[in-house]
Amino acid sequence: MLTEKEKQEIFSLLHSQVVPAIGCTEPMAVALCVARATEILRTQTDCKVPEKIHLDLSANILKNAMGVGIPGTGGMIGLPIAVALGAIGGKSCLGLEVLRDCTEEDLTVAKNYIKEDHIDIKLEENDPDKLYIHARVEAAGKGAEAIIKGSHTNFIDSPTTLPIKEGVVTSEDERNLSAKDSGIALTLSKVYEFATTTQLDDLRFILEAKRLNEAAAEEGLRENYGHQLGKTMCSPLGRGIMGESIFAKVLSVTSCACDARMAGAKIPVMSNSGSGNQGICATMPVVVFARENHNTEEELIRALTLSHLTAIYIKQSLGCLSALCGCVVASTGSSVGITYLMGGNFNQISFSVKNMIANLTGMICDGAKPSCALKLTTGVGTAVMSAMLAIQNKNVTSAEGIIDDDVDRSIHNLTSIGSRGMDETDRFVLDIMTHK
């Protein structure tokens, strides 16, 4: 039985880890750090734009920021334009929506800024954190810095900090509560109890994830983004092959949202654990299945809560960034949510988790990019299949591979592989990406 303190801690987790974001999270986090350092610099000098920007970034930040579209840039990709816009028009008070208010004029200035070689980006080799961003800015003989570490909006103290301003995300702010330091050690049974017994009105906020991510899916269908995987599935070719099944609709709608986000559409999505793709993956399969299955609004709300909180739980031991593709985590959440919408009980939900872990463990993350839609769709397809087996009380057993009789141990087997076992894989992937 959850205590009142545990319930409040879980609420804090949900509110801190399920937040809106525009664009891929890693370049947005870098832009956020640069915007914050620039704001500090402006208190010391009349210069509005730094003369030089120095960045030290962890390998996982670099990997996830190299090939992804930046919102509002007309298709430009990668870190330089995100960094330049962060310095020129970014607002740190907007968190991961830092570039929301950037204008066409800002974009023109930013393009010239890149050409003038003001930006220096290096790999951080000393700090062990997989999520580390250190921005140092200079102008008129003055300097300022900002550091993000541990989670995408978690500023840590540096010698040149501004007083905390309302709306600015800081390490003391509850919005930045990281899953690892939340004080609540989740288990799948705690996730299930919270999602299925909490007063419905207290969970209704999760419908904002539905609203934002549905809008992203509609944008992905309306325009030609990325590899257009979602649109292809909705085309006569896709329908001819996959038909009009619930399965096909779950895949296509989820893919449309990812297509738009990865190509740099300037629209917010609801993220999960610092990832917009994970937020899409934890949301849209559940939303589409509930609509097609004619579930009630209450069932949808509880299923979305189950899905998002399961993803957060897995991330507690995996960490914000790892060698493991985030779709493994988020699609496990959506499988849990879909199993619940099918009428599944806790045992059947546990079966769906084991089925997911047995199938997707080991899928590598090779950076954020348009082709993430392919991986996301693979994860969502597996989520539906795992739920179908689970609702029939069929699951991968402890006699097979890394699965344990205890579902929580199975989850920790997955996260141990992703956080420690695949470290060398992560380094190898980054080496390939940086030497092509």
Domains of the chain: 20-176 (3.30.1330), 179-434 (1.10.4100.10)
Contact 38/50 with Cβ under 8 angstroms? Answer: yes
Global pTM?
0.87
The structure tokens 């695949």 sit at: 422
Beta carbons of 148 and 169 less than 8 angstroms apart: no
Strand-pair partners of 53: 119, 137
**Cβ pair 188, 349 in contact under 8 A:** yes
d(CA 318, CA 298): 30
Name the residue among 210, 385, 391 with its Cα closest to residue 291.
210
Q: What distances in angstroms separate CA 244 from CA 171, 248, 341, one per listed residue?
A: 47, 6, 20
- Cα–Cα separations (whole angstroms), residue 74 to 91, 109, 218, 265: 20, 14, 19, 9
Task: Give the span between the Cα atoms of 288 and 143, in whole angstroms.
Answer: 50
Say which amino acid occupies 408.
Answer: D
Whether the Cβ atoms of residue 28 and residue 96 lie closer than 8 Å to each other: yes
Alpha carbon distance 262, 226 (integer Å): 7
Tens-binned pLDDT, residue by residue, of the chain (436 aa): 899 999 999 999 999 999 998 888 899 999 999 999 999 999 999 888 999 999 999 988 998 888 888 988 988 988 999 999 999 999 999 998 899 999 999 999 999 999 999 999 999 988 888 899 999 999 999 999 999 998 888 898 754 444 333 333 333 333 333 434 456 889 999 999 999 999 999 999 999 999 999 999 999 999 999 999 999 999 999 999 999 999 999 999 999 999 999 888 888 999 999 889 999 999 999 999 999 999 999 999 999 999 999 999 999 989 888 889 999 999 999 999 999 999 999 999 999 999 999 999 999 999 888 899 999 999 999 999 999 999 999 999 999 999 999 999 999 999 999 988 998 898 899 889 888 8
Instruction: Name the residue among 205, 232, 237, 263 with its Cα closest to residue 67.
Output: 263
Q: What residues are paired with 114 via a beta bridge?
A: none
* Per-residue pLDDT at 174: 31
- The pairing of strands 119-123 and 52-57 is parallel
Helix (H, G, I), strand (E, B) or coil at 402: coil
What pLDDT is recorded for position 183?
Answer: 64
| pLDDT score for 151 | 85
Asked if 3 and 10 touch (Cβ cutoff 8 Å), the reply is no
Please tell me the predicted confidence (pLDDT) of residue 141.
Answer: 92
Distance CA 47, CA 139 (A): 7
Alpha helix (H) residue ranges in 43-148:
59-65, 79-88, 104-115
Where are the extended beta strands (E) located within 108-152?
119-123, 132-139, 142-149
**Is 317:371 a contact under the CB 8 Å cutoff?**
no
Angstrom distance (rounded) from CA 273 to CA 14: 9
User: What's the confidence (pLDDT) of residue 320?
Assistant: 82
Q: Which of 188, 390, 212, 227 is nearest to 309 (CA)?
A: 188
Type and span of the H or E element at 196: helix 188-197
Q: 206-236 burial, b for 16+ CB within 10 Å, e for fewer?
A: beebbebbbebbebbbeeebbbbbbbebbee
Distant-in-sequence, close-in-space partners of 28: CB < 8 Å, separation ≥ 6 = 21, 22, 82, 96, 97, 98, 99, 152
How many C-beta atoms lie closer than 10 Å to residue 127's C-beta? 13
